[in-house]
Structure 1
Amino acid sequence: MHRFFVCAVMAGVLGSQVAIASDIAPTDVKFEDMSIGQSLTGVPGNPEEGAKVLANRGLGNCLACHAVTPLENEQFHGNVGPSLDGVADRWSAEELRAIVVNAKHIFTEQTVMPAFYSLDYGINPRKDLEGKTILTAQQVEDVVAYLGTLKEPE
Protein backbone atom coordinates (compact mmCIF):
# COMPACT_ATOMS: atom_id res chain seq x y z
CA MET A 1 0.00 0.00 0.00
CA HIS A 2 2.83 2.38 0.91
CA ARG A 3 4.55 1.79 -2.47
CA PHE A 4 1.31 2.48 -4.31
CA PHE A 5 0.89 5.79 -2.46
CA VAL A 6 4.48 6.85 -3.16
CA CYS A 7 4.11 5.94 -6.85
CA ALA A 8 0.83 7.87 -7.09
CA VAL A 9 2.39 10.95 -5.47
CA MET A 10 5.43 10.77 -7.77
CA ALA A 11 3.22 10.38 -10.81
CA GLY A 12 1.30 13.48 -9.76
CA VAL A 13 4.49 15.47 -9.22
CA LEU A 14 5.99 14.36 -12.52
CA GLY A 15 2.72 15.00 -14.31
CA SER A 16 2.61 18.56 -13.05
CA GLN A 17 6.21 19.11 -14.12
CA VAL A 18 5.38 17.87 -17.60
CA ALA A 19 2.45 20.31 -17.81
CA ILE A 20 4.69 23.18 -16.74
CA ALA A 21 7.42 22.14 -19.17
CA SER A 22 4.92 22.26 -22.07
CA ASP A 23 4.23 25.98 -21.60
CA ILE A 24 5.67 28.13 -24.35
CA ALA A 25 8.30 30.38 -22.82
CA PRO A 26 7.70 34.13 -23.21
CA THR A 27 10.78 34.40 -25.42
CA ASP A 28 9.47 31.64 -27.72
CA VAL A 29 6.02 33.08 -28.41
CA LYS A 30 5.47 33.55 -32.16
CA PHE A 31 3.34 36.40 -33.48
CA GLU A 32 1.92 35.80 -36.96
CA ASP A 33 -0.31 38.30 -38.74
CA MET A 34 -1.08 40.17 -35.51
CA SER A 35 -2.10 37.01 -33.67
CA ILE A 36 -0.78 34.02 -31.76
CA GLY A 37 -2.39 30.91 -33.15
CA GLN A 38 -0.95 28.37 -30.74
CA SER A 39 -2.10 28.00 -27.14
CA LEU A 40 0.65 28.91 -24.70
CA THR A 41 -0.09 25.81 -22.63
CA GLY A 42 -1.89 23.27 -24.80
CA VAL A 43 -4.59 23.31 -22.12
CA PRO A 44 -7.92 25.08 -22.73
CA GLY A 45 -8.46 28.25 -20.78
CA ASN A 46 -11.01 28.38 -17.98
CA PRO A 47 -13.32 31.41 -18.40
CA GLU A 48 -14.25 31.50 -14.69
CA GLU A 49 -10.57 31.66 -13.71
CA GLY A 50 -9.98 34.22 -16.44
CA ALA A 51 -12.65 36.51 -14.96
CA LYS A 52 -10.89 36.26 -11.59
CA VAL A 53 -7.52 37.13 -13.12
CA LEU A 54 -9.03 40.00 -15.10
CA ALA A 55 -10.62 41.50 -11.96
CA ASN A 56 -7.73 40.80 -9.57
CA ARG A 57 -5.87 44.02 -8.88
CA GLY A 58 -2.72 42.05 -8.05
CA LEU A 59 -2.72 40.15 -11.35
CA GLY A 60 -4.39 41.36 -14.51
CA ASN A 61 -5.91 44.51 -13.02
CA CYS A 62 -7.72 44.93 -16.35
CA LEU A 63 -10.55 46.83 -14.67
CA ALA A 64 -8.18 49.68 -13.88
CA CYS A 65 -8.43 50.65 -17.56
CA HIS A 66 -11.40 48.74 -19.02
CA ALA A 67 -15.11 48.54 -18.19
CA VAL A 68 -16.69 45.07 -18.27
CA THR A 69 -20.44 44.93 -17.71
CA PRO A 70 -20.57 41.28 -16.54
CA LEU A 71 -18.13 42.28 -13.76
CA GLU A 72 -20.09 45.41 -12.79
CA ASN A 73 -20.10 44.32 -9.14
CA GLU A 74 -16.33 44.86 -9.07
CA GLN A 75 -15.35 48.41 -8.17
CA PHE A 76 -13.47 51.06 -10.08
CA HIS A 77 -13.86 50.23 -13.77
CA GLY A 78 -11.60 52.44 -15.83
CA ASN A 79 -12.14 54.30 -19.07
CA VAL A 80 -8.54 54.59 -20.30
CA GLY A 81 -8.97 51.56 -22.56
CA PRO A 82 -12.05 50.58 -24.54
CA SER A 83 -14.88 48.68 -22.91
CA LEU A 84 -14.34 44.94 -23.16
CA ASP A 85 -18.06 44.34 -23.72
CA GLY A 86 -18.37 42.63 -27.11
CA VAL A 87 -14.61 42.12 -27.45
CA ALA A 88 -15.15 38.54 -28.70
CA ASP A 89 -17.07 39.96 -31.66
CA ARG A 90 -14.22 42.32 -32.55
CA TRP A 91 -11.20 40.03 -32.12
CA SER A 92 -10.54 36.31 -32.60
CA ALA A 93 -9.13 34.21 -29.75
CA GLU A 94 -5.76 34.23 -31.52
CA GLU A 95 -5.80 38.04 -31.74
CA LEU A 96 -6.91 38.40 -28.12
CA ARG A 97 -4.06 36.10 -27.05
CA ALA A 98 -1.59 38.33 -28.88
CA ILE A 99 -3.02 41.48 -27.29
CA VAL A 100 -2.83 40.00 -23.78
CA VAL A 101 0.67 38.60 -24.34
CA ASN A 102 2.08 41.90 -25.60
CA ALA A 103 -0.24 44.70 -26.70
CA LYS A 104 2.73 46.82 -27.77
CA HIS A 105 3.46 44.22 -30.48
CA ILE A 106 -0.10 44.57 -31.79
CA PHE A 107 -0.82 48.26 -31.34
CA THR A 108 2.11 50.64 -30.81
CA GLU A 109 4.86 51.19 -28.28
CA GLN A 110 2.76 54.08 -26.92
CA THR A 111 -0.08 51.87 -25.65
CA VAL A 112 -0.32 51.93 -21.86
CA MET A 113 -1.48 48.31 -21.79
CA PRO A 114 1.25 46.19 -20.28
CA ALA A 115 2.71 43.07 -21.84
CA PHE A 116 1.32 40.35 -19.57
CA TYR A 117 3.44 37.46 -20.91
CA SER A 118 6.63 39.09 -22.12
CA LEU A 119 10.04 39.92 -20.75
CA ASP A 120 10.06 43.16 -22.76
CA TYR A 121 9.45 45.59 -19.91
CA GLY A 122 10.64 48.84 -21.34
CA ILE A 123 13.04 51.02 -19.40
CA ASN A 124 13.96 50.82 -15.72
CA PRO A 125 12.06 47.70 -14.60
CA ARG A 126 12.12 46.80 -10.93
CA LYS A 127 15.11 44.51 -10.37
CA ASP A 128 13.03 41.96 -8.43
CA LEU A 129 10.70 41.55 -11.42
CA GLU A 130 13.31 41.03 -14.13
CA GLY A 131 12.91 37.65 -15.82
CA LYS A 132 9.29 37.32 -14.66
CA THR A 133 6.00 37.78 -16.47
CA ILE A 134 2.92 39.46 -15.01
CA LEU A 135 0.73 36.45 -15.79
CA THR A 136 1.52 32.79 -16.23
CA ALA A 137 0.87 31.11 -19.57
CA GLN A 138 -2.23 29.43 -18.12
CA GLN A 139 -3.55 32.70 -16.74
CA VAL A 140 -3.22 34.20 -20.23
CA GLU A 141 -5.21 31.28 -21.66
CA ASP A 142 -7.83 31.71 -18.91
CA VAL A 143 -8.17 35.45 -19.64
CA VAL A 144 -8.49 34.75 -23.37
CA ALA A 145 -11.20 32.15 -22.63
CA TYR A 146 -13.09 34.70 -20.52
CA LEU A 147 -12.73 37.43 -23.13
CA GLY A 148 -14.15 34.93 -25.63
CA THR A 149 -17.42 34.97 -23.65
CA LEU A 150 -17.83 38.74 -23.99
CA LYS A 151 -20.11 39.01 -27.02
CA GLU A 152 -22.60 41.69 -27.94
CA PRO A 153 -26.16 40.81 -26.90
CA GLU A 154 -28.22 39.44 -29.77
Structure 2
Amino acid sequence: MLLATLLLASATTADAIPEPLQGLQGDAQRGRAIVASRQSGLCLLCHSAPIPEERFQGTLAPSLAGAGARWSAGQLRLRIVDSLRINPDSIMPAYHRVDGLSQVGRDWRGKPVLDAQQVEDVVAYLQSLKD
Protein backbone atom coordinates (compact mmCIF):
# COMPACT_ATOMS: atom_id res chain seq x y z
CA MET A 1 0.00 0.00 0.00
CA LEU A 2 2.94 2.35 0.68
CA LEU A 3 4.08 1.89 -2.93
CA ALA A 4 0.58 2.84 -4.14
CA THR A 5 0.69 5.95 -1.93
CA LEU A 6 4.09 6.95 -3.31
CA LEU A 7 2.93 6.44 -6.89
CA LEU A 8 -0.21 8.46 -6.21
CA ALA A 9 1.80 11.28 -4.66
CA SER A 10 4.11 11.43 -7.67
CA ALA A 11 1.12 11.58 -10.04
CA THR A 12 -0.49 14.51 -8.21
CA THR A 13 -0.20 18.10 -9.35
CA ALA A 14 -0.97 21.11 -7.16
CA ASP A 15 -4.72 20.69 -7.46
CA ALA A 16 -5.39 17.49 -9.40
CA ILE A 17 -4.63 13.85 -10.05
CA PRO A 18 -4.70 14.11 -13.85
CA GLU A 19 -4.64 10.41 -14.72
CA PRO A 20 -7.27 7.84 -13.68
CA LEU A 21 -6.28 5.67 -10.74
CA GLN A 22 -4.70 2.43 -11.96
CA GLY A 23 -5.67 3.44 -15.53
CA LEU A 24 -9.30 2.55 -14.80
CA GLN A 25 -12.29 3.97 -16.64
CA GLY A 26 -15.22 5.11 -14.53
CA ASP A 27 -18.89 4.37 -15.07
CA ALA A 28 -21.23 7.30 -14.32
CA GLN A 29 -24.20 5.06 -13.46
CA ARG A 30 -22.20 3.16 -10.84
CA GLY A 31 -20.83 6.48 -9.59
CA ARG A 32 -24.33 7.88 -9.14
CA ALA A 33 -25.23 4.82 -7.06
CA ILE A 34 -22.16 5.35 -4.85
CA VAL A 35 -22.95 9.05 -4.35
CA ALA A 36 -26.56 8.20 -3.46
CA SER A 37 -25.64 5.29 -1.16
CA ARG A 38 -26.15 5.71 2.57
CA GLN A 39 -23.80 2.75 3.13
CA SER A 40 -20.76 3.30 0.91
CA GLY A 41 -20.25 6.82 -0.40
CA LEU A 42 -22.22 8.73 2.20
CA CYS A 43 -21.80 11.82 0.01
CA LEU A 44 -25.34 13.03 0.62
CA LEU A 45 -24.72 13.39 4.35
CA CYS A 46 -22.91 16.65 3.58
CA HIS A 47 -23.58 17.41 -0.10
CA SER A 48 -26.76 17.81 -2.10
CA ALA A 49 -26.92 16.34 -5.58
CA PRO A 50 -29.38 16.16 -8.46
CA ILE A 51 -30.72 12.84 -7.21
CA PRO A 52 -34.35 13.76 -6.50
CA GLU A 53 -35.41 10.36 -5.20
CA GLU A 54 -32.97 10.69 -2.28
CA ARG A 55 -34.47 12.70 0.54
CA PHE A 56 -32.60 14.48 3.32
CA GLN A 57 -29.56 15.68 1.41
CA GLY A 58 -26.81 17.61 3.15
CA THR A 59 -26.16 21.33 3.24
CA LEU A 60 -22.74 21.39 4.95
CA ALA A 61 -20.71 21.16 1.74
CA PRO A 62 -21.07 22.49 -1.81
CA SER A 63 -23.82 21.11 -4.00
CA LEU A 64 -22.61 18.50 -6.46
CA ALA A 65 -24.92 19.91 -9.16
CA GLY A 66 -22.71 21.32 -11.90
CA ALA A 67 -19.55 19.72 -10.47
CA GLY A 68 -18.44 18.65 -13.95
CA ALA A 69 -18.60 22.26 -15.13
CA ARG A 70 -16.67 23.60 -12.12
CA TRP A 71 -13.85 21.06 -11.88
CA SER A 72 -11.86 18.84 -14.23
CA ALA A 73 -11.80 15.08 -13.78
CA GLY A 74 -8.36 15.39 -12.21
CA GLN A 75 -9.50 18.03 -9.76
CA LEU A 76 -12.51 15.93 -8.76
CA ARG A 77 -10.28 12.86 -8.39
CA LEU A 78 -7.95 14.62 -5.94
CA ARG A 79 -10.89 15.97 -3.93
CA ILE A 80 -12.26 12.45 -3.56
CA VAL A 81 -8.94 10.74 -2.88
CA ASP A 82 -7.77 13.29 -0.28
CA SER A 83 -9.60 16.61 0.02
CA LEU A 84 -7.18 17.78 2.72
CA ARG A 85 -4.57 18.36 0.03
CA ILE A 86 -6.80 21.11 -1.37
CA ASN A 87 -8.19 22.42 1.91
CA PRO A 88 -6.43 21.43 5.16
CA ASP A 89 -9.53 22.54 7.11
CA SER A 90 -11.92 20.33 5.13
CA ILE A 91 -14.24 18.02 7.03
CA MET A 92 -14.49 15.71 4.03
CA PRO A 93 -12.76 12.39 4.72
CA ALA A 94 -10.00 10.99 2.52
CA TYR A 95 -11.87 8.38 0.51
CA HIS A 96 -8.84 6.66 -0.99
CA ARG A 97 -5.85 7.58 1.22
CA VAL A 98 -4.98 5.12 3.98
CA ASP A 99 -1.76 6.43 5.52
CA GLY A 100 -1.33 9.24 8.03
CA LEU A 101 -4.92 9.07 9.26
CA SER A 102 -5.99 9.15 12.89
CA GLN A 103 -9.01 7.75 14.68
CA VAL A 104 -9.59 5.01 12.12
CA GLY A 105 -11.63 2.05 13.30
CA ARG A 106 -9.72 -1.22 13.60
CA ASP A 107 -11.72 -2.85 10.78
CA TRP A 108 -10.91 0.04 8.41
CA ARG A 109 -7.17 0.47 9.10
CA GLY A 110 -5.19 0.12 5.88
CA LYS A 111 -8.34 0.01 3.75
CA PRO A 112 -9.63 2.91 1.66
CA VAL A 113 -13.28 3.91 1.96
CA LEU A 114 -13.56 3.70 -1.83
CA ASP A 115 -11.34 1.50 -3.99
CA ALA A 116 -9.77 2.85 -7.19
CA GLN A 117 -12.66 1.68 -9.39
CA GLN A 118 -15.22 3.32 -7.12
CA VAL A 119 -13.26 6.58 -7.14
CA GLU A 120 -13.23 6.54 -10.94
CA ASP A 121 -16.96 5.76 -11.03
CA VAL A 122 -17.72 8.76 -8.79
CA VAL A 123 -15.46 10.97 -10.92
CA ALA A 124 -17.33 9.84 -14.06
CA TYR A 125 -20.68 10.65 -12.45
CA LEU A 126 -19.57 14.05 -11.19
CA GLN A 127 -18.07 14.88 -14.60
CA SER A 128 -21.50 14.20 -16.13
CA LEU A 129 -23.05 16.94 -13.96
CA LYS A 130 -22.61 19.96 -16.21
CA ASP A 131 -25.70 21.96 -15.21
Q: TM-score, normalised by structure 1?
A: 0.77
Superposed, 1:105-116 pairs within 5 Å as 105-108=85-88, 110-116=89-95
Counterparts of 2:29 and 2:103, CA distance in 1: 34
% identity of equivalent residues: 39
In structure 2, the partner of 1:136 is 115
1:47 aligns with 2:3: no
Stretches of structure 1 lacking an aligned partner (at least 5 in a row): 1-23
Give the aligned length.
127
AA of the residue aligned to 2:4: A
1:148 aligns with 2:124: no
Q: 1:92 to 1:74 in 2, by over 3 A?
A: same
1:66 aligns with 2:47: yes
Determine if contact 2:99/2:110 at 8 Å carries over to the other structure.
no
In structure 1, the partner of 2:75 is 95
1:33 aligns with 2:1: no
CA root-mean-square deviation: 1.5
Counterparts of 2:64 and 2:40, CA distance in 1: 17
Shift of 1:142: 0.2
Determine if contact 2:49/2:63 at 8 Å carries over to the other structure.
yes
Counterparts of 2:7 and 2:68, CA distance in 1: 26
Q: 1:66 to 1:107 in 2, by over 3 A?
A: same
Larger Rg: 1
Counterparts of 1:86 and 1:129, CA distance in 2: 32
SS of 2:103's partner is coil
Determine if contact 1:64/1:78 at 8 Å carries over to the other structure.
yes
Superposed, 1:19-30 pairs within 5 Å as 25-30=4-9
Looking at both structures, which has the greater relative contact order when contacts are Cα pairs under 8 Å and sequence separation is at least 6?
2
Q: Which runs of 4+ in 1 moved over 4 A?
A: none
Determine if contact 1:65/1:81 at 8 Å carries over to the other structure.
yes
One of 54, 63, 87 as aligned partner of 1:83: 63
Determine if contact 1:103/1:111 at 8 Å carries over to the other structure.
yes
Stretches of structure 2 lacking an aligned partner (at least 5 in a row): none
Counterparts of 1:26 and 1:55, CA distance in 2: 27
